[in-house]
Chain A
Amino acid sequence: MNIHVNPADATKRDSRVGLAIADGDIHPGLKDAKALHPYLAKRWQDHLDTYGLIPRHAYQAGPAYPKGNPDASRRDAYPPEGGKPGSSLSFMRAQHLDPNNVELGILNPIAPTPGNAQNPDLAVAMSRALNEWQIAEWTSQEPRLKGSIIPPYEDGAESAKEIEHWAGHPDFVQVLLLSRTCEPLGRRRYWPIFEACANANLPLAIHAFGYGGNPITSGGWPSFYIEEMSGHSQCCQALLASVVLEGVFERFPNFKMILVEAGFAWLPALAWRLDKHWEKLRSEIPHLKRPPSEVIREHVWLTTQPMEEPDQRRHLMDTWDWIGHDRLIFATDYPHWDYDEPAEALPIRLDDDSRAKLFRENARSVYGC
């Protein structure tokens, strides 16, 4: 729990954020269940209408865990014209992009997630539809927004095709997966994705959540949503260890990864632990030629929201120092319920250089725009 309280001044909302910012995590939503139909062959429209998209997990009527608010969203994020939070570009401009002075917003469409689909052909068709939808309804309408190439990520070969199809398109600045994959992400079935990202010079963003068919903790299914929320850091630690230890970054030296919405304060401890074991177990993984911490420091970025909140704020700054001030990307998670308000969320005062990096330059650097 953060023990510091922001003063309750009544600063006008349209003047709160002086610095133009980048936002590494904005969630565009579908207006309704048929919103992707214009981008799908009739065969898949009929399929969705009849069978729906069945994710790879046991609770097929919806998510395995509840959310903090309906639609996992701020209660004030429902567009006045109707539809789900995040589904209206005009309202997104009015509620978020304009007042928060967002000059670069990264779209992370995570609902639906074709990569979770049991049906592999539906996953391919919906991935293409979501990519076309992002351009048609978002990035072509709003130059501040950039999209994420959605691949059907449990199928490496089809994912590589989808990434190659869009490679070089200026509206896409990253490829996006969800974190809970069927196998640990470093396994070779996923390498075609990494290779395609490296060839296209696009970072791979890994957003928390997803349904890979496995229990969401290594000890099984927990009882509460708070365990799922806190568990994203465990999931991403396992995922990152897998990618580093399998040698992905050795094989694809210009491959970059961005971890989204999984916290960051855990990263230094993971790196220390990996280094300690690597020194003694190098013969098990001879392909990894450098200490894991070095590999992570060179290839991995993280978005900030939701930040860990130590009682003493300076302790958060310590973790920041250890990770590197060039590696964190500010993110709001708009319109979701655990959104971070740009003018309020930062618990510590940064010097101008670190502030510019966090709010803009690190994003510009990793997204290449």
Chain B
Amino acid sequence: MPRHVVATIDEIPPGERKLVTVEGREIVVFNLDGDYVGLLNRCPHQGGRMCDGVVTALITSDEPGKIKYDRPGEIIRCPWHGWFFDLRTGQSWGEPDRIKTRHYDAAVADGRDLVQGPYQAELVDVTTDQAYVVIET
């Protein structure tokens, strides 16, 4: 699968995001406390731009009156209708079997390894003294 260098690691601190265009598709790259993930910038419901979404948590309850607040920082809500998506899988919370948004694997790669290729770095100039976020499409 093609690998694309989309950012230096310094560009996306923990909890932050960066919108990139890869092969004509807008992808939002998130840093989840050191883990990087990519999400298509288009909600599968009506097309809201996920880059404007708010990152929140899973708020669930086993019985009325008892509320759980799990996985803070790993759930994003569409900026329009508030659909919930798991940033680690792209699955929706409401209809996980049927509705998910396109999800991309992302990883950190050292510039010294990247310069040997193959990779595509139309977005970032790669040098050997930096680490980079790389996604696969």
Q: Which of A5, A10, A75, A338 contacts B53 (CB 8 A)?
A: A75
Comparing A139-147, A211-219, A266-274, A339-347, the segment that makes contact with chain B is A339-347
Measured in the bound complex, the distance between the Cα atoms of B54 and A40 in whole Å is 38
Q: Cβ of A337 and Cβ of B101 under 8 Å apart?
A: no
A1 at the interface (CB under 8 A from B): yes
The stretch among B4-12, B42-50, B116-124 that forms the contact with chain A is B42-50
Complex interface bits, A53-79 against B, C-beta within 8 A gives 1, otherwise 0: 000000000000000110000111000
Which of A6, A75, A343, A344 contacts B54, CB < 8 Å? A75
**B46 touching A76 by the CB < 8 A rule?**
no
Please tell me if the beta carbons of A345 and B46 are within 8 angstroms of each other in the complex: yes
Stretch of B28-36, B76-84, B129-137 contacting A (4+ beta carbons < 8 Å): B76-84
User: Does residue A281 face the partner (Cβ distance < 8 Å to B)?
Assistant: no
List which B86-114 residues lie within 8 A (CB) of chain A: 94-95, 98-99, 101-102
Q: A33 interface residue, CB < 8 Å from B?
A: no
**Distance in Å from the Cβ of A10 to the closest Cβ of chain B?**
6
Size class of A's contact patch?
Answer: 10 to 19
> Which residues on B sit within 8 Å (CB–CB) of A68?
81-82
Interface centre among B40, B52, B94 (most CB of A within 10 A): B52
Which positions 66-108 of chain A face chain B at CB distance < 8 Å?
Answer: 68-69, 74-76
Annotate A328-356 by CB proximity to B: 1 below 8 A, 0 otherwise.
00000000011111011100000000000
* Chain A, residue nearest B53 (CB): A75
When distances are taken between beta carbons in the complex, the residues of chain B under 8 Å from A337 are 80-82
Query: Is B25 in contact with chain A by the CB < 8 A criterion?
Result: yes
In the complex, whether B24 has a CB less than 8 A from a CB of chain A is yes
B102: chain A residues within 8 A (beta carbon): 8
Q: Give the nearest-CB partner of B40 in chain A.
A: A8
Interface 0/1 of B42-70, CB less than 8 Å to A:
10111111001110000000000000000
Determine whether the beta carbon of B95 is less than 8 Å from that of A3. yes
User: Which residues of A in the span 1-34 have a Cβ within 8 Å of any Cβ on B?
Assistant: 1, 3, 5-6, 8, 10
Q: Chain B at the A interface: mostly helix, strand, loop or mixed?
A: loop
Q: Which residues of the partner chain B approach A6 to less than 8 Å between Cβ atoms?
A: 44-47
Per the bound structure, the CA–CA distance linking A306 and B25 in Å amounts to 29
Return chain B residues, CB-CB under 8 Å to A69.
79, 82
Flag if B98 contacts A8 (CB, 8 Å): no
Determine whether the beta carbon of B25 is less than 8 Å from that of A1.
no
Residues of B within 8 A of A75 (CB): 52-54, 79-80
Chain B residues within 8 Å of A10, by CB: 24-26, 42
In the complex, what residues of A have CB within 8 A of residue B52's CB? 75-76
Contact between A341 and B98, CB atoms less than 8 A apart: no
Which residues of A have CB within 8 Å of B99? 5
Q: Give chain A nearest CB distance to B75 CB in angstroms.
A: 15
In the assembled complex, the CB of B25 is this many whole angstroms from the nearest CB of chain A, namely 6
Instruction: Name A9's closest neighbour in chain B (CB-CB).
Output: B42
A76 to chain B: which residues have CB within 8 Å? 48-49, 52, 79-80
Q: How far is the CA of A219 from the CA of B63 in the complex (A)?
A: 24
- Chain A nearest CB, measured from B100 CB (Å): 9
Contact assessment for A8 and B82 in the assembled complex, using a CB-CB cutoff below 8 Å = no
Residues in chain B near residue A344, CB distance under 8 A: 45-47
Residue from B48, B54, B81, B98 in contact with A5 in the complex, judged by beta carbons closer than 8 Å: B98
Chain A residues, Cβ within 8 Å of B82: 68-69, 337
Q: Which residue of A lies closest to B52 (CB)?
A: A76
Task: Answer whether A74 and B47 are a contact pair too, CB < 8 Å, given A5-B99, A10-B24.
Answer: no
Whether A3 pairs with B98 at a CB distance below 8 angstroms is yes
In the complex with contacts A68-B82, A75-B53, A76-B79, A1-B47 CB distance below 8 A: no
Question: Which 9 pairs of residues, A with B, have the shortest CB-CB distance?
Answer: A75-B79, A344-B46, A341-B46, A76-B52, A76-B79, A75-B52, A74-B80, A5-B44, A5-B99
Q: List 26 A-B contacts (CB under 8 A).
A: A1-B95, A3-B95, A5-B98, A5-B99, A6-B45, A6-B47, A8-B42, A8-B44, A8-B101, A8-B102, A10-B42, A69-B82, A74-B48, A75-B52, A75-B79, A76-B48, A337-B81, A338-B81, A339-B80, A339-B81, A340-B46, A341-B80, A343-B47, A344-B45, A344-B47, A345-B46
Known: A337-B81, A345-B46. 20 other contacts (CB 8 A): A1-B94, A6-B45, A6-B47, A8-B40, A8-B42, A8-B101, A10-B26, A10-B42, A68-B81, A75-B79, A76-B48, A76-B49, A76-B52, A76-B80, A337-B82, A338-B81, A339-B80, A339-B81, A343-B47, A344-B46
